[in-house]
Amino acid sequence: MSTLASAIKWIKKDRVDPILKKARSIALCAFVSHIWKARNAFIFDGTPFTEEAIFHKIQKHINKIIAFLLLDAQKTIGQNPPPRSSTHLTMAEKESSPSETSLISNKEETPNGNTFDFKKGVKNRFETSPHMKKLPPEFVLQLERNPLSATLAEIPVIDLSGLNCPSEIRTSTVKAISSACELWGFFMITNHGIKMSLIEEMLGVAQEFFDLNLSEKMKYASEDVMSPVRYGTSLNTSKKHNLHWRDYFRHYGHPFQHSFHLWPVNPPKYRNVAKEYLEEIWQLAMKLGGAISEGLGLENGYIEKSMGEGLQILAANYYPPCPEPDKTLGLAAHSDHGGLTILMQNGVDGLQIKHNGEWFSVQHVPGTFLVNIGDYLEILSNGKYKSVEHRATVNAQKTRISVAVGHGPELKSPIKPASPLVDEREGIHYRPITYQDYIRLQQSITTRGKNALQAVLINK
């Protein structure tokens, strides 16, 4: 069948979803009119110029176009884009991350006919069926290989006290941060200045929050992914997706006046401990931001200024012991939408990062923080630094708790490459978008990975 005929057949296939249909038509028009350019590109990179290759390229770009149409629809109708069911998943979406994308809806009836309410979370499930031997089928993911077999990453460890030292040591610490950002997008920090007692208190109140009874926690449940306070389970999306073995609690931090009054009143110590912790983490993030600006050759304080008032988001994750942990994940592969994420955990490992296309496990040293680059910094650095895809595995013996704190610009800020980093010859690599739209875009794509970033990437 010719390329055109197969493309038309493909467009017609989705009669029920006008957005998808429109996206496919636009993709087809764009590719037909740019066919000559595409042909040159194929010749250039050595790929044979076959009809199949063109059709595949059309499908590959569909995610981008759909993402923009979703944003567009959202702006026009002033609400969340209409939900798409698993049958509306495009080929490109299915192909983009085959290991973790075959959707199982959040239906409340399991394949063996039992019903359960997944919204009660995995902690509740584990506690009500402590002798569970098999992983409920709703949680079984199509993983390419056993996630628990990944090798250990030898990630850079940086002594942050160097940033307070006289110029030579400071310069070498800045260089170490800059090269860790460039080579790994991920590093561990020691001597960061945050007291171990505060870290332990934060872990303690997070644990106490998850230990509350379900009805208390459900007061914070929300379908809105932008809600300033949100309790939930599996992934942070209101879209249907395969279930992951995690409960979570998220809320905004700095600037505190917008959300502090919404944080949990139980456990009673929660608000004060979390505020103190988040204030300290904010200072730490700004210190790292200063060093990163310097490493990028930007003027002093460039990153901090670009963030305006800024936005901090805390995500506390609870991964109870899991039967058959090799068949599922706690959290799917994703990159963070913010600039810098600072993560700590309760001494139980489970974080994995993707490096040079391979998954590596991260061994966390208690008292240190793990820092990773998110999409905002990838965009701001015009691609010099890359955000890191990461995911969480689970284990059969122990409960894992992690507390990740993300730092990004204020919601209305446009996110775009820093002009001093835009090379005249190459130009900008990412389309400008507001941070708020970017977050919504990311949460509307259930096939996470780095798909949201792909949608704003300008292919040269």
The strand pair at 151-152 and 358-361 is best described as parallel
Choose which of 20, 342, 404, 453 interacts with ligand AKG (CB under 6 A): 404
Token readout for 371 is: 């820092």
Whole-number Cα distances in Å, 273 to 133, 159, 204, 281, 401:
37, 26, 9, 12, 17
Token readout for 22 is: 């429109």
> For ligand AKG, how many residues bind (rule: CB under 6 A)?
11
Least distance (Å) from ligand AKG to the CB of residue 291? 22
Token readout for 216 is: 């208390």
* Cβ closest to ligand AKG, residue 7 vs residue 331: 331
Least distance (Å) from ligand AKG to the CB of residue 321? 15
* Cβ closest to ligand AKG, residue 23 vs residue 371: 371
* Cβ closest to ligand AKG, residue 7 vs residue 351: 351
* Cβ closest to ligand AKG, residue 20 vs residue 351: 351
* Cβ closest to ligand AKG, residue 202 vs residue 298: 202
Choose which of 293, 317, 381, 395 interacts with ligand AKG (CB under 6 A): 317
Least distance (Å) from ligand AKG to the CB of residue 402? 3
Least distance (Å) from ligand AKG to the CB of residue 181? 18
CA distance 120 to 125: 7
Contact status: 450 vs ligand AKG (CB under 6 A) = no
Least distance (Å) from ligand AKG to the CB of residue 279? 20
Choose which of 135, 229, 315, 439 interacts with ligand AKG (CB under 6 A): 315
Hey, CA dihedral for 281, 181, 190, 300, is it positive or negative?
negative
CB 145 within 8 A of CB 175: no
Least distance (Å) from ligand AKG to the CB of residue 281? 14
Q: Is 78 helix (H, G, I), strand (E, B) or coil?
A: coil
Least distance (Å) from ligand AKG to the CB of residue 391? 7
Choose which of 194, 278, 392, 455 interacts with ligand AKG (CB under 6 A): 392
* Cβ closest to ligand AKG, residue 80 vs residue 402: 402
Choose which of 19, 351, 452, 453 interacts with ligand AKG (CB under 6 A): 351
Residues 6 or more apart whose CB falls under 8 angstroms from that of 277 comprise 198, 199, 201, 202
Choose which of 59, 242, 368, 402 interacts with ligand AKG (CB under 6 A): 402
* Cβ closest to ligand AKG, residue 147 vs residue 350: 350
* Cβ closest to ligand AKG, residue 185 vs residue 295: 185
CA distance 61 to 30: 10
Contact status: 390 vs ligand AKG (CB under 6 A) = yes
* Cβ closest to ligand AKG, residue 315 vs residue 379: 315
Is residue 77 within a helix (H) or strand (E), and if so which, with residue range?
Answer: helix 51-77
- Residue 79: CB atoms within 10 Å: 9
Total residues found in the chain within this entry:
460
CB 372 within 8 A of CB 336: yes
- Cα–Cα–Cα angle for 262, 236, 199, rounded to 5 degrees: 60
* Cβ closest to ligand AKG, residue 20 vs residue 340: 340
Mind giving me the DSSP string for 329-380? -SEEEE--SSSEEEEEESS---EEEEETTEEEE-PPPTT-EEEEE-HHHHHH
> Which residues ranging from 95 to 124 are in contact with ligand AKG (CB under 6 A)?
none
- Cis peptide leading into 83, omega within 30 of 0? no
Beta strands in 236-284 (DSSP E): 247-252
Mind giving me the DSSP string for 269-306? THHHHHHHHHHHHHHHHHHHHHHHHHHTTPPTTHHHHH
Least distance (Å) from ligand AKG to the CB of residue 231? 14
289-304 burial string, b = 16+ CB within 10 Å, else e? Answer: bbbbbbbbebeeebbb
Least distance (Å) from ligand AKG to the CB of residue 62? 26
* Cβ closest to ligand AKG, residue 247 vs residue 437: 247
Q: Is 251 helix (H, G, I), strand (E, B) or coil?
A: strand
Contact status: 313 vs ligand AKG (CB under 6 A) = no
CA distance 443 to 223: 12
Residues 6 or more apart whose CB falls under 8 angstroms from that of 133 comprise 323
* Cβ closest to ligand AKG, residue 294 vs residue 336: 336
CA distance 335 to 353: 10
Least distance (Å) from ligand AKG to the CB of residue 344? 9
Annotate each residue in 325-344 with x if it binds ligand AKG (CB under 6 A) or - if it does not, as one string: ------x----x------x-
Q: Which of 226, 391, 253, 248 is nearest to 314 (CA)?
A: 253
Q: Which residues bind ligand AKG (CB under 6 A)?
A: 315, 317, 331, 336, 343, 350-351, 390, 392, 402, 404
